[in-house]
Amino acid sequence: MSFYLRSLRRLGQQHIDVASSGDITRFLNISPVQFRKDLSYFGGFGKRGVGYDVRALRREIEKILGTDVIWKIALVGVGKLGSALLGYPGFIEFNLQIVAAFDSDRGKIGKVREGIKIEAIGKAKKIIRENEIKIAIFSVPAEAAQKLSKELVNCGIKAILNFAPVNLVLPENIFVSNVDMASELESLVYKLKRS
Task: By CB under 8 A, name the binding residues for a second copy.
Answer: 2-3, 6, 10, 27-30, 65-67, 71, 73, 80-81, 83-85, 87-91, 93-94, 96, 134-135, 137, 142-143, 145-146, 158-161, 165-169, 173, 175, 177, 179-195
**Residue 27 DSSP label:** G
Cβ proximity to a second copy: between 29 and 115 the closer is 29
Cβ proximity to a second copy: between 47 and 105 the closer is 105
Cα–Cα distance between 75 and 82 in angstroms, integer? 7
Min dist CB 59 to a second copy, Å, is: 15
Cα–Cα distance between 135 and 140 in angstroms, integer? 15
Cα–Cα distance between 31 and 144 in angstroms, integer? 44
Cβ proximity to a second copy: between 21 and 83 the closer is 83
Classify residue 191 as exposed, middle or buried by CB count within 10 Å of its CB (0-12, 13-18, 19+). exposed
Amino acid at 4: Y
Min dist CB 166 to a second copy, Å, is: 6
Cβ proximity to a second copy: between 47 and 63 the closer is 63
Min dist CB 77 to a second copy, Å, is: 13
Contact between 78 and 142 under an 8 Å Cβ cutoff? The reply is no
